[in-house]
């Protein structure tokens, strides 16, 4: 989950921390998960039974553990049970978060850099937007030019609204970017902002409606490049779009490398370039780019990208070693569990992989009953039975193998059902699931490599099968 604002505090779930100004307070993993669950149901009364079933699923505990966790959250927030500003106790009913969370607005402070960069990786690919990392500097316009304060201020207002991703806010943001361009026609950041509005709209509409929106966004980004040819962020966004949506890998490489040439000190440049290199099967180069990213942003050492590279390079034992390093440093999060599932399955350790499936279900909000049913399926037939049951129950969530329909294809591979797997892969291709871009190099697809339709899908994606 991304950082968010709760009253006076910035909540960082990945760091289990609360920040207010220069003050940072830590929460243990379980109280943080409880706070997140309350935040997801703000202004709703949640019973003690609901909270115990969700946070302590499958464990025999008393209500005391809930009371202690609530007390720890209140202490960290500086809250009071008698005069609550955050968590209200409703006797005989449960608890309610009475301070609704809000999205974290983009700023120029170091706080912005704490946003987890792995949201752009295939580990948790959702919406690959780069506006969280857009540098708010004078270099946003043509080189050497100083943006007008009026235009820049209008752009900043639009960028703030962009962070909410709500339809009415997107319309207002788009209008503000237009006004910024009227004040300063050379303000490349405003063109970038208009492109982001279109990309956000495309992510929330049908494939047929999304295509023209993305085409318009690309035109705006290319125009921004003309006005600000030396802007690294424009180059990076172009590279990502050419890679993930235009599927022009040659141009994508050019833009990624140009972005690094312009601003090699920005870790996100190396991070996204590493994702591209992995898809191209250039694992050594991807590893170097990832090491560079960690050198520049050591606070993100816990991102399991290095482990994923080793797994893709068919070195699952080395990948597992990288995960164990992370586990020794911090509480495993959802991306950790997803990576562990893939790596442990490649090692043939299904029992351990299943443990991480259960952890993923718990962190994703599945009920105690659903988790119990999943355990029963594993007892009956192992992971193969679990994955078949997921398909039967139409569980489309990302539980280690991305979302459906791609998840179903991977479950079918596990069940040794190649024809079913190909059927689901074709549906994933029609849905333009981004994770397919790593299909040529991911060893999980090895059972399908001799299937003619698998090579047809690779060819349609513009991917080449790995060298033997």
380-428 pLDDT tens trace: 999 999 999 999 999 888 899 998 899 999 999 999 999 999 999 999 9
> Mean pLDDT across the stretch 114-124?
38
Cα gap 122→64, rounded to integer Å = 39
Bigger pLDDT: 305 or 131?
305
Bigger pLDDT: 104 or 352?
352
What is the number of other CB atoms lying within 10 angstroms of the CB of residue 457?
A: 21
Q: Work out the pLDDT band at 221, boundaries 50, 70, 90.
A: very high
Q: Check residue 163 and give its pLDDT.
A: 64
Q: Is the pLDDT score of 461 beyond 60? A: yes
pLDDT tens by residue, 181-201: 999 888 888 898 899 888 888
Cα gap 24→311, rounded to integer Å = 35
Order of strands, sheet of 45-46, starting from the edge strand that comes earlier in the sequence: 45-46, 94-97, 87-90
Cβ(284)–Cβ(132) below 8 Å: no
Cβ(5)–Cβ(115) below 8 Å: no
Cα gap 98→88, rounded to integer Å = 7
pLDDT tens by residue, 251-309: 999 999 999 999 998 888 898 999 999 999 998 999 999 889 889 878 667 678 888 88
Bigger pLDDT: 140 or 20?
20
> Mean pLDDT across the stretch 314-338?
87
High-pLDDT (> 90) share of the chain, %: 42
Secondary structure of residue 244 in the 3-state scheme: helix
Q: Residue 36 has which token pair?
A: 């997140």
DSSP string spanning 406-423? HHHHHHHHHTT-HHHHHH
Cα gap 97→43, rounded to integer Å = 6
């Amino acid at each position: 989950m991304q950082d968010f604002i709760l009253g006076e505090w910035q909540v960082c779930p990945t760091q289990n921390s609360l920040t207010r100004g220069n003050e940072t307070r830590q929460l243990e993993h379980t109280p943080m998960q409880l706070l997140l669950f309350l935040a997801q149901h703000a202004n709703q009364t949640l019973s003690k039974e609901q909270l115990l079933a969700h946070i302590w699923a499958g464990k025999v505990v008393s209500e005391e553990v809930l009371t202690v966790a609530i007390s720890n959250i209140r202490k960290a927030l500086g809250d009071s049970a008698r005069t609550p500003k955050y968590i209200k106790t409703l006797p005989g009913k449960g608890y309610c978060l009475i301070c609704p969370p809000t999205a974290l607005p983009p700023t120029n402070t170091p706080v912005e850099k704490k946003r987890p960069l792995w949201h752009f990786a295939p580990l948790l690919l959702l919406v690959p937007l780069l506006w969280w990392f857009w540098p708010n500097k004078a270099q946003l316009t043509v080189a050497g030019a100083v943006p007008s304060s009026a235009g820049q201020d209008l752009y900043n207002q639009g960028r703030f609204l962009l962070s909410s991703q709500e339809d009415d806010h997107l319309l207002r943001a788009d209008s503000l970017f237009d006004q910024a361009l009227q004040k300063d026609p050379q303000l490349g950041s405003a063109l970038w902002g208009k492109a982001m509005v279109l990309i956000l709209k495309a992510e929330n509409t049908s494939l047929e409606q999304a295509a023209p929106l993305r085409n318009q966004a690309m035109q705006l980004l290319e125009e921004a490049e003309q006005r600000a040819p030396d802007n690294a962020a424009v180059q990076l966004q172009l590279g990502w779009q050419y890679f993930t949506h235009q599927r022009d890998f040659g141009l994508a490489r050019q833009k990624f490398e140009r972005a690094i040439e312009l601003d090699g000190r920005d870790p996100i440049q190396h991070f996204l370039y590493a994702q591209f290199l992995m898809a191209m099967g250039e694992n050594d180069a991807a590893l170097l780019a990832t090491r560079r990213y960690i050198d520049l942003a050591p606070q993100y050492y816990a991102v399991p990208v290095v482990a994923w590279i080793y797994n893709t390079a068919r070195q699952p034992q080395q990948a597992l070693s990288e995960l164990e390093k992370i586990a020794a440093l911090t509480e495993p999060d959802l991306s950790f569990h997803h990576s562990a599932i893939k790596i442990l399955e490649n090692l043939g350790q299904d029992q351990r992989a299943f443990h991480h499936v259960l952890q993923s279900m718990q962190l994703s909000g599945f009920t105690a009953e659903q988790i119990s049913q999943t355990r029963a399926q594993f007892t009956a037939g192992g992971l193969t039975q679990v994955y078949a049951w997921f398909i039967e129950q139409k569980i489309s969530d990302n539980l280690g193998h991305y979302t459906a329909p791609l998840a179903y294809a991977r479950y079918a591979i596990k069940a040794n059902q190649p024809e079913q797997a190909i059927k689901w892969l074709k549906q994933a291709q029609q849905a333009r699931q981004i994770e397919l871009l790593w299909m040529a190099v991911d060893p999980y697809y090895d059972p399908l490599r001799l299937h003619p339709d698998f090579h047809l899908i690779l060819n349609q994606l513009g991917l080449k099968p790995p060298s033997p």
